[in-house]
Amino acid sequence: MTGREENATNRAGFIETVKLIHTYPLHNKTQELKVANHKSAAKRNLQNQIRHARNNHVRSNMRTLVKNTREAVAKGDKDAAQQALKLVIPCIDKSAAKGVIHKATASRKIGRLTRLVNTLA
């Protein structure tokens, strides 16, 4: 990932170089720079930022596919709804496997979408 480097002063007054990942808006505020006092804490902060970005991407894609499935059902297009359902089921399963959503939530979403598509049959 690309980022920029900034100098930050830790509690002891030493200047540390901190690599920043892209800042994402968080509740209409930008994320603050977290300066860690230990190497392991700095690594943890970096890992958390990377995982946060990845989880948001996976969740966004899943929601888009769910929306497309629901729109196809709303239009009454049976073939498009079935094709959209074939795309969304693996995406929901992968989201649960990656820990983005709980496995029970994934199962519930799949069941409800399948039942919704089956109403067109």
The phi and psi torsions of 59 (rounded to 5 degrees) equal -65, -40
pLDDT tens by residue, the chain, 121 residues: 445 555 555 555 544 554 544 555 555 555 565 678 899 998 999 999 999 999 999 999 999 999 999 999 999 999 999 999 999 999 999 999 999 999 999 999 999 999 999 999 7
Question: HSE on the CB side for 102, CA within 13 Å?
Answer: 3
The domain at 4-118 falls in which architecture? Up-down Bundle (1.20)
CA distance 110 to 85: 9
Closest CA to 30 of 20, 41, 42: 20
The phi and psi torsions of 36 (rounded to 5 degrees) equal -90, 150
Q: What is the pTM of this model?
A: 0.68
What are the domain boundaries of the chain?
Answer: 4-118
The phi and psi torsions of 6 (rounded to 5 degrees) equal -135, 150
